Structure 1
Amino acid sequence: MIEVRGLTKRYRSTLAVDDLTFEVRPGVVTGFLGPNGAGKSTTMRMVLDLDRPDAGEVRIDGRPYRDHARPMRTVGALLDAKWVHPNRSARRHLQWMAAATGLPATRADEVLELVGLTAVAGKRAGTFSLGMAQRLGIAGALLGDPPVLMFDEPVNGLDPEGIRWIRTLMQGLAAEGRTVFVSSHLLSEMALTATELVVIGRGRLISHGPTAAFVDGASGSSVLVRSPAITDLVPVVQAAGFGVTPDPSGGARVTGASTEQIGELAAAAGIVLHELTQVRGSLEEAFMQITGGDVEFTAGGPPPRPPVPGAPAPGPAGTHRSEVQR
């Protein structure tokens, strides 16, 4: 288990991490999310005692990282895939790491096979692609067979097969009862991989809990409705107090209503429906909704949405904030 309590770190005038508190439990994959500049990498470095916090503490299995006699056998981490001497072979690099922590040299070949690098074990690491370097970094994290694992952006540079492989790997490690903590900007992948989430923005905790609860609580759900008489249905639905937005399918998304409610409204108005589906929000939608005010850099808002058939005209420009600024 990783326990973070009141963690605070300032770099001159910049407060990188602000009184951050959370736990990462064993047995599940915990995703670590936040916009660029949110403090994720700084937090991970403080967990590993690479940066000293100004306040607060981190305990790994009950003790600070520095108090573990053989930390590689307790925590395996991938923070920088390119942290390898370019002229060392993959095998020599891992054998050097193994020797430093009292592991047998044969362990290097075991983890190389696990990550699919046996065929290039003798090649210089400096010739590796980013995807191969990621696999080598993961091999280094697994070298000591640790109960706690941390990965910072582990899918960078991986092809679809590699992304699927690491998803399966992390879920398998968690199923063995290990603590797996992973940061990523690939939200679609995190939705498939992580059971729990820690979400931060500007160094502060925004959310901590199950992935499903985060998505449902932030993005909510909607009802997709398609009808040959959609222009007649929209004002009926709006009159009942529900929000309506257009859908690329030619239908409409209704928020705040159930499929039963929309079906009953359509039936009462004598309107034929071709589709009525409850649609759950996505992790990306939930993330943007929750962290929109904590992004470090923002671009212009998205192009205006097409009008909903039958909906009133929008108000004057400037009356609504862009999606990025919410």
Structure 2
Amino acid sequence: MGADVIEVQRLTKYYGRTLAVDDLSFRVEPGRVTGFLGPNGAGKSTTMRAVIGLDRPSSGQVLIGGRCYQDLDAPLRTVGALLDARSAHGRRSVRAHLLGLARSNRIPDRRADEMLELVGLAAVADQRAKGLSLGMAQRLGVAAALLGDPQVLLLDEPVNGLDPEGVLWIRQLMKGLAQEGRAVLVSSHLMSEMALTASHLVVIGRGRLLAEMSVEEFVSQGSRGGVVVTTPQPERLREVLAARGLELRDGPERSVVEVHGADVRTVGELAAEHQVVVYGISPATVSLEEAFMEFTAGAVEYRARQQGAE
């Protein structure tokens, strides 16, 4: 059976007079990891809480397979969520926490032990949850989210506190779950990790939808639209290109020249015509982080003053 689709339909949420989510609509499809991005205060956590019924919408709704979370027959078997790594009762053991969830949802005890093995916590199964590091608590949260073998996963900042091995593990886990046909929605501020994990993005700012598209489309919209040239003769290349009226910018290194207003073929032919040695030439691109910063520049709620700024 295929995974259910998450449908956020014109979701609006007020806390008193504060508008946290503003007429937000998007879909999370099965078979891919969807990155849920936005600046601090954008409304990501509120939206994810609304998906699993922890926050009641002021208007609009969230459906999972066409049903609200509270109407699901077996919620833990349908949706697994990690929204707070420290949600486990501190005085309970790691195994007892999972067993309590399993038995309350009619899930066999053996599933708890299987999940402890999966997330690498079998050796600390009898340790109290309050003694776990943040990274270990994240692993326990993932185990709880997967306990019911759900077809829909919601993970809020799942790599927080993980060491490099743990980051690689959670990345591979999320991609593997999506490849199995599950719908995976993951929120993160680590753009480099999202670039390696997600295939689709939902980007919000100030509670509103800013973008819903593939990672490739999102990055291409932030493309500089120029050409990057690596050459041992940067000054000579600049002279040639400037004579043609092309816009030039400094690259990250002296040997790199960024050209705007021309394509790769034009720049390559000009370099060849004037016998300028070129080591490499390609369209200018931006990283997911650069595209995100550009796209959300007008939607940042909390902005720190840059050092040295007046």
Checking the alignment, whether the CA contact within 8 Å between 2:223 and 2:284 is kept in structure 1 is: no
Q: Paired residue for 2:165? A: 161
Cα RMSD of the aligned pairs, angstroms, is: 1.9
CA distance in structure 1 between the partners assigned to 2:104 and 2:196 by the alignment:
36
Q: 2:278 pairs with 273, 278, 299, which one?
A: 273
User: How big is each residue's C-alpha offset from its partner over 1:76-118, in whole Å with a ceiling of 9 and x where there is no partner?
Assistant: 0000000011111110000001111111111110111111111
Q: Which runs of structure 2 are paired with 1:27-66 in the superposition (5 Å)?
A: 27-66=31-70
- What is the distance in 2 between the residues matched to 1:270 and 1:220? 26
Change (3 A) 1:49 1:89: same
The alpha carbon displacement at 1:70 in A equals 1.4
Q: 1:302/1:59 Cα in 2 relative to 1: closer, same or farther (>3 Å)?
A: same
Counterpart residue number, 1:287: 292
Which residue of structure 2 lines up, in the alignment, with residue 312 of structure 1? none
| Offset at residue 263 of structure 1 (A) | 1.0
> Is 1:119 paired with 2:94?
no
2:128 maps to 1:147: no
Q: TM-score, normalised by structure 1?
A: 0.89
Unaligned runs of 5+ in 1: 305-317, 319-326
Unaligned runs of 5+ in 2: none
Instruction: List aligned pairs for 1:1-326, cutoff 5 A.
Output: 1-240=5-244, 242-250=246-254, 251-300=256-305
Once the two structures are superposed, residues 263-322 of structure 1 have per-residue CA deviations (whole angstroms, 9 ceiling, x without a partner) of 112233343323323343210111011001111122345889xxxxxxxxxxxxx9xxxx
Separation (CA, whole Å) in 1 of partners of 2:289 and 2:178: 24
Cα displacement (A) at 1:13: 2.8
Q: 2:267, 2:308 → 1: CA distance?
A: 29
Residues 263 and 302 of structure 1, relative CA distance in 2, 3 Å threshold: farther
2-side partners of 1:220 and 1:303: how far apart?
27
Aligned length: 305
Tell me the amino acid that sits aligned with residue 76 of structure 1.
G
The 3-state SS of whatever aligns with 1:219 is: coil
Aligned equivalents of 1:140 and 1:301: distance in 2? 40
Distance, in Å, in 2 between the alignment partners of 1:244 and 1:141 is 51
- What is the alpha-carbon distance in structure 2 between the residues aligned to residue 23 and residue 170 of structure 1? 18
Of 67-76 and 234-243, more deviation after overlay is shown by 234-243
User: Do the aligned residues in 2 keep the contact of 1:65 with 1:71 (CA within 8 Å)?
Assistant: yes
| C-alpha separation in 2, matches of 1:7 and 1:239 | 54
Q: In 2, Cα distance between the equivalents of 1:157 and 1:242?
A: 47
Mapped to 2, the partners of 1:239 and 1:9 lie a distance apart of: 56
Alignment deviations for residues 151-205 of structure 1 (CA, whole Å, 9 cap, x no partner): 0000000111111111110111111111100000010010010010000000000
Contact 2:14 2:58 in 1 (8 A): yes
CA gap of 1:63–1:248, structure 2 versus 1, over 3 A, is same
Residue type of the alignment partner of 2:53: D
- C-alpha distance in structure 2 between counterparts of 1:43 and 1:29, whole Å: 17
Q: TM-score, normalised by structure 2?
A: 0.93
Deviation at 1:242, TM superposition (A): 4.0
Instruction: Name the aligned partner's letter for residue 158 of structure 1.
Output: L
2:20 and 2:180 mapped to 1: Cα distance?
34
Alignment match, 1:309: none
